[in-house]
Structure 1
């Protein structure tokens, strides 16, 4: 560790109208206690800021995660946490989904935390207890897309990455699945050479994510998809 995954993110919307897109980018996998620190001249390509996660403070992300878990009766007792996230590039980051695989002191998996961010600067954490295949289902509790209300549930498949990254999140409403997102990629060592290559293939990758989400939202709006109002989001216990 750490590692880079050059990946393809796919969104497929099947109702009330069909729309799909694919986006190529790269993500970092790392030990949460030891975030990557590239050589100083390259830190504009990869900076990890504690304020981008949990309570948006300067405290280490591990402390924010532990506080959230403690509020839900979970203790890791110093166990390892593996995180998958975007880094800041040129000072900017928008990370729709950050995943934390949490282990106990003996290395056994305890839980997974899926931290979701929306374009309004809000965040919400889902505590998951996946099965052996990394599958779990949780009620949807957070406003993400302006075209879906906050109802239904998410069926997530979040196995801890190895040589390959293969994640999926499916929205379920009234027995149907109107939206599915997948993230698939191949592991690369997080060397200077691989970082420069990934940055060259995906320039200003985090800004591209922000622009892409808004561009597709405008496209759907112009196609007549009705917008659902954003409800007030109450800060979760443990994230204050």
Structure 2
């Protein structure tokens, strides 16, 4: 019998996910795009370094604990995620992170996902959302009693965080997670009356060998630098379509919505 996803990650395995990301804005001004971006899935405290990847050290790709978990720029890594899960009543799981890593020292990831895994079962997710204004907020998603989250299940959260300057902080999110040892598919549907957004990401996992990491850098040069450029490019396209700009509101008082 093959090892579970949790066991593989606790054993230090690093998984690469070339994720096909789609955004489709609904309502009075429509806008859509599709790109492939590179995510990694790992246990941050057990992942093994390799050529082109390091933890808390400069490399082509790198994971730095201060980038995740808690206040933006002063993250506490997996310890923070464990505390959030424990405060909700969930302990004794493997805590994994799915995120875009730093590229040559530069980091920005619109949304990362902390996963609470038991074997191959996904019991809870923290969606860690960053905007381009230096702010962060996280949404904790789980079923009552932490029943496993299955493909097709919908988990709901009220939108409380400013993400796009072309959308109001109102409405709600519907999250769907389908995560297996072989692949992942995540959908986030933001509903706000006639307005809204559908964002998806999906792809197949593969062991992040040095050759695979180097290949990703060559196929999609710039890593997270490329991601921030694409964000501003699409913001310009929206502005030219007539989308109204919303000023930046203060962040939510609580760092996690439960």
TM-score normalised per structure 2: 0.82
Cα 1:36–1:89, aligned 2, differ >3 Å: closer, same or farther?
farther
| Residue 95 (1) aligns with residue 109 (2) | yes
Cα pair 2:63 2:102 within 8 Å, conserved = yes
d(CA) in 2 for partners of 1:47, 1:10: 25
| Residue 69 (1) aligns with residue 85 (2) | yes
User: Deviations 1:39-91 (Å, cap 9, x if unpaired)?
Assistant: 37875221111111122466751111123334x433313x2012210110011
User: Deviations 1:126-182 (Å, cap 9, x if unpaired)?
Assistant: 0101542253111111100111111110111122243222111110112x4621111
Q: Which moved more, 1:42-51 or 1:137-146?
A: 42-51
Aligned to 2:127: 114
d(CA) in 1 for partners of 2:41, 2:114: 10
Which of 239, 243, 248 does residue 221 from structure 1 map onto? 239
Aligned to 1:137: 156
SS in 1 for 2:175: strand
Number of corresponding residues: 235
Aligned to 1:182: 200
Cα 1:139–1:58, aligned 2, differ >3 Å: closer, same or farther?
closer
Aligned to 1:194: 212
SS in 2 for 1:75: coil
Please, which runs of 5 or more residues in structure 1 have no aligned partner? none
Please, which runs of 5 or more residues in structure 2 have no aligned partner? 1-12, 144-148
Cα 1:20–1:238, aligned 2, differ >3 Å: closer, same or farther?
closer
Cα 1:45–1:14, aligned 2, differ >3 Å: closer, same or farther?
same
Aligned to 1:10: 22
